[in-house]
Amino acid sequence: MTASRPRRAGGRTQLEIVPDQLVWALYGRESLDPKGLAEQVAHQLDEMRPFALGLGGRIGREYPENNVSAFRRVRVALPDGTYGYRVVRPDWDAMMTGLRRGEFNALCLPNIDRGMRDPRDLEDLIDLVEHYGVYVVGLTGSIDLTSDEGISSARREVDQRNRESRNISRRMVNGNRRAALAGRHHGGSNRPFGWRTDRVSVNKREAKHIRREVPRLLRGVNPRTRATS
């Protein structure tokens, strides 16, 4: 698509797009899929294939990322030996590496929300456009990372989606805490120790062990220590 680093002029990245030389990476994602069927991701890719091919070139690789959050951060080791918190998406990260290496020169997303909910990820994608000449499009037509105005719009949208995710996370944590204090089931895919599979009836055998440990916990013994001992 581009033989050299793209040129910026007048607040716009000048991409030299040659349609028949486009090599596409397609990325689909769904945050929550308890059944693991990946139906939404498959639907996204089904829609993106003809859309991308209609713009020219060929599809290099598809990246279906199912049941993976674009918001939740995890603790990771940093190059300087310290630790930080990052959104970790193995397929997204592999795709970005492929784009930087020149394995693909074009990227199609369903929309900006499926691609990013963390501002850091958006900045990495902007770098791909401005420094590597990657052509980025969205199925909804709302992604333009070549112009200053389009970049500002993308930053606002990702920031809005990030705030939405933070609000949802806060409400869930508060709701779970209230339910736990009231002795009610408060979510989670695993059966809590001390409860039957219906999450309502007490498992008397396990509850006996919990009652036995309560005095120790009240004296300050770490629950994790008791669980592993």
Q: Is the pLDDT of residue 25 over 50?
A: yes
CATH placement of domain 7-162: 3.40.50.1390
For all residues of the chain together, what is the average pLDDT?
86
Q: Which residue has the tokens 């009836």?
A: 201
pLDDT at 181: 64
Q: For residue range 147-165, what is the model confidence (pLDDT) as tens digits?
A: 999 999 999 999 998 888 7
- Residue with the larger pLDDT of the pair 50 and 117: 50
User: What is the arithmetic mean of pLDDT over 81-101?
Assistant: 96
Residue % of the chain over a pLDDT of 70: 86
Domain boundaries along the sequence of the chain: 7-162, 192-228
Instruction: Pick the range with the lowest mean pLDDT from 57-61, 148-152, 217-221.
Output: 217-221
Radius of gyration of the chain (CA): 23
Residue of higher predicted confidence among 132 and 188: 132
The closest of 76, 75, 99, 83 to 27, measured between CA atoms, is 99
Q: Which residue has 């333009």 as its token pair?
A: 144
Instruction: Dump pLDDT digits (tens) for 167-213.
Output: 776 776 676 667 666 666 666 667 777 777 776 778 888 788 778 87
